[in-house]
Amino acid sequence: MRPDSPWRIRDFRTLFTATGLSQLGTNTGYVALPLIAVSALKAGPGQVGALATLSTVAFLLIGLPAGAWVDRMRHRRVLIGADLVRAALFASVPPAGWLGGLTLGQLYVVALLNGCATVFFDVGSQSVLPRLVGRESLVQANAAVVSLIAAGNVAGRGAGGVLVQLLTAPVAVAFTAASYLGSALRLVAIAPTPPSAVSPETPRMLRAQIAEGLRHVLRNGELRALALTATLTNLGSQIVNTMLPVLFVGRLGLSPAALGLFWAAGGAGLLLGSRCARPIAARLGHGRALGVVGPCLAPAGLLVPLVDHGLWLWVAGAGWLLVMAKTGADNVLGVSLRQRLTPDSLLGRMNATFRFMLTGALAVGSAVSGALGELTTVRTTLWVGGVVLSVAFLPVFLSPVRTRRELPVVTPGREPVRS
């Protein structure tokens, strides 16, 4: 095993397996909740859009202060607590369904509070990773984690669709709760981590700490471009994803399993992109790889709105796979670059700023998708999302990222050195 391999570190292996369980639950619930709303509660486009919005709006509400809070907290406790909260929320759905008392209101509450817990889990997991593996192993570690997330998309969303079709949506939601509980139990094995180091000026105002994280991201041309490209990608993908259950089940009469497999194709694309990211970067350079992959794959987003019966389902699925392959490569290379551009004391706030923008775009995309679906048509809404996906690469392509060959060299106490 190479000396810089993250796999030599027991705590990384523990985090990796816990993340796998968490992702399996997340993706099963991703399929099950909207299908419950559409099939059992007869929700329309606007209501499905509201459900998707509530699942991500927490990043707009508490995303920025969460970074400052996580920087003050022990990351292991944050991750375990978030998983336990998510397990309890999803465990409340099956009994309500079996007893005939499930309502859209309960689904809205579950989606909102689950989003709040996910804010802390996502910020905490990305902040603890550099501490566990060291900065020299970040690209390998991120490639492994992104590949795992992609595999979770394939297995979780495919399994979610099959579980909903064969065993009903409440059973799929129970599986989600069990997965989160398993993740929490696995995370107990990670060695306790101290809070991040804070500057000598502490205690400081929370607002000042948030502003410091925002300045770090928005005043750095490379970080700003990475954030904008990822934000546009999330916006376009969420506009599409919010309407897919309505189109597949409500309009085209396709099965939940077909929807799960369509989403699984996107997971396969994520896996493909994440596995190819490092070889492409080794050949072209880290930033150049980010600059090349975007214009080659992003236009495939224009194939997704063609989804229909027969051949067009396969064409749209291929377009979705290619767009997600671009996202998978961006995740590995972009996350590694932004972690190397950020000192330890700002990691939580940097990650929170990115999550605020990226997942905030999911909330906005859900709301836009629901509104467009009500005011125009489901198909028009898909075209809007496809166009956004096709141009999302432009901020990185037009930025200094495109000319970077190597990751920056980090010297403790100093700004990263560009290379």
Residue 359, domain extent:
6-191+206-403
Query: What CATH number is associated with residue 47?
Result: 1.20.1250.20
pLDDT tens digit at each of 419 positions of the chain = 566 678 888 888 888 888 888 888 888 887 788 888 887 788 778 888 888 888 878 877 887 777 667 766 677 888 899 999 999 999 998 898 888 888 889 999 999 999 889 888 887 887 777 777 776 676 678 778 777 776 766 666 666 777 777 777 778 888 889 999 999 999 888 877 665 555 444 445 667 777 888 888 888 888 999 999 999 999 999 899 888 888 887 788 888 778 888 888 888 888 888 888 888 888 888 888 888 888 999 999 999 999 998 899 999 999 999 999 999 888 888 877 887 888 877 776 787 788 788 878 888 888 899 889 889 999 999 999 999 999 999 999 998 888 887 777 654 444 554 44
Question: Is residue 409 helix, strand or coil?
Answer: strand
Q: What is the pLDDT of residue 200?
A: 44
Amino acid at 156: G
Residue 411 maps to a domain? no
Q: In the chain, how many domains are there?
A: 1
| Rounded Cα–Cα distance for residues 213 and 94 (Å) | 40
CA 126 to chain CA mean position, Å: 11
Residue 418 maps to a domain? no
Residue 201 maps to a domain? no
Q: What is the pLDDT of residue 197?
A: 52
Residue 138 maps to a domain? yes
State the DSSP code for 301: G
Residue 211 maps to a domain? yes
Residue 99 maps to a domain? yes
Q: What is the pLDDT of residue 201?
A: 45
127-157: burial string, b at 16+ Cβ within 10 Å, e else: bbbbebbebebbbbbbbbbbbbbbbbbbbbb
103 by Cβ neighbours in 10 Å (0-12 / 13-18 / 19+) ranks as exposed
Closest CA to 186 of 18, 13, 7: 18
Residue 338 maps to a domain? yes
224 by Cβ neighbours in 10 Å (0-12 / 13-18 / 19+) ranks as middle
Residue 408 maps to a domain? no
pTM of the model: 0.70
